[in-house]
Amino acid sequence: MRYSRDLRGYGETTPDPQWPGGARIAVQIVLNYEEGGENSIEHGDAASEAFLSEIIGAQPWPGKRHWNMESIYDYGARSGFWRLHRMLRDIPVTVYGVATALERSPELVAAMKAAGWEIATHGLKWIDYRDIPREVEADHIAQAVELHTRVTGERPRGFYQGRCSMNTVALGCEEGGFEYLADTIADELPYWHVHNGKPQLMVPYTMDANDMRFSSGQGFGTGTDFFDYLRDSFDILYAEGAAGAPKMMSIGLHCRLAGRPGRAMAIQRFLDHCRQHEGVWFASRLDIARHWAELHPYQPRQRPSQMDRNSFVQAFGSIYEHSPFIAERVWDAEMGAVHDSASGLAARMAQVFRSASDEERLGVLNAHPDLAGKLAQAKRLTADSTAEQASAGLDSLTDDERATFTRLNDAYVAKHGFPFIIAVRDHDKPGIMAAMQARIDNDTPTERAEAERQVMRIGELRLKEALK
């Protein structure tokens, strides 16, 4: 089984985004424009809208118009938008514009364009796509792009469906004209997603630094709550950037929510807070996408989880000495992006090794050669073992050293029944010899456990070399 989700991402050390001017943080503000694109029987839908409004616990009204719900959305277009526009018009904002909503608001579109804002597509209609057939959603995306282009004068370069389906990201990739997709909350930096062999840049969005939490049971109650959360998010990301790991802070706003006076003040206070700091890059999502694509273009790389079985076993079958069954069982089990790193693949191989029978594990131990033994002299070691023993100087022993190693090897095998095993890349020659002297005196169960730990450590070191 191949696990599709990438739970590893960039890992412990994130790439340096090299934001323009050496900025410590990229602040990206999204203004969702959905007013006029929401569920309504007047829009041809089966029921009224019930999502993201002041009406907590709202339910759809099948076949009926919901006057309060509609007028809440009307407020976003009539008043909330303009309040936020006054605050943000000098900042590079990205608008997530529902195509049918944009079509119904020509003056607002003109204001967005005059401010130089990026207008990305938020789909054709602001509806829930989870149960919409794939072909219908694909048609809606195509219609959204076509209508968006007619309304704004240019096609959208970014796509965020929002209430997406399991097909949305794939359909966004297949549309072929988007410089980025945003239906992901997986990171604080852009990343490349591969679909059908082709890379697609993802610029993650947010659900936490988002005014939608004013409309949920567990969320913000006051503008101060929202400001505090935005400020704290900014401060920790700014500090991480100052320490050498800059990130992107994404903020989501809605005209009918953040556009209310008591909430808009939080936005103003947050902007003032940002402006008190040096090294803050306000950017649209398209700015960020193009910056990332230029400085961090997609780089094809070997991904063990995507290899066919024969290739995988050929590449990694010798990681555990003369024991390809470990690699075979790894491939046959669940694999995903977490196993594409040396540490991740080493952990899975160790798991398989621990799960093997006692006889199989003993066979792996006995597959290892004696250190500086007869196989080494006859140049019959595997390439990995040859390099490892050479790294510790075991390929250039004096006669006395070779005699000592031979004596210790023989004594060890005679007592424990398997060769002395140690990750030689972790030690030098004197350290290896001292370990041999000490471990001969262990009881066999203790030494068996230590030998197995060393086998797994050797596998990890070999994978780090193989997957540089």
| Both tokens assigned to 155 | 């096609």
Alpha-carbon Rg of the chain, whole angstroms? 30
Q: Which residues does the annotation mark as catalytic?
A: 368
Number of Cβ within 10 Å of residue 127's Cβ equals: 20
User: In the beta sheet, which residues pair with residue 126?
Assistant: 38
Q: Are 70 and 40 in contact (CB under 8 A)?
A: yes
Q: If we measure between CA atoms, which residue out of 300, 301, 346, 306 comes closest to residue 465?
A: 346
Length of the chain: 468
- CA 183/CA 168 separation, integer angstroms: 8
| Region class of 286: left (phi > 0), else alpha (psi between -120 and 50), else beta | alpha
- CA 37/CA 120 separation, integer angstroms: 15
- The packing angle between helices 261-275 and 81-88, to 10°, is 10
**HSE toward the beta carbon, residue 265, CA cutoff 13 A:** 6
Residue type, 422: I
First to last CA, the chain: 25
Backbone angles phi, psi at 223, to 5 degrees: -60, -35
Give the pairing type, strands 191-195 and 198-202.
Answer: antiparallel
DSSP class of 39 = -
SS3 state of residue 423: coil
Q: Are 108 and 80 in contact (CB under 8 A)?
A: no
Distances from the Cα of 272 to the Cα of 2, 88, 341, angstroms: 47, 12, 42
Q: Are 327 and 316 in contact (CB under 8 A)?
A: yes
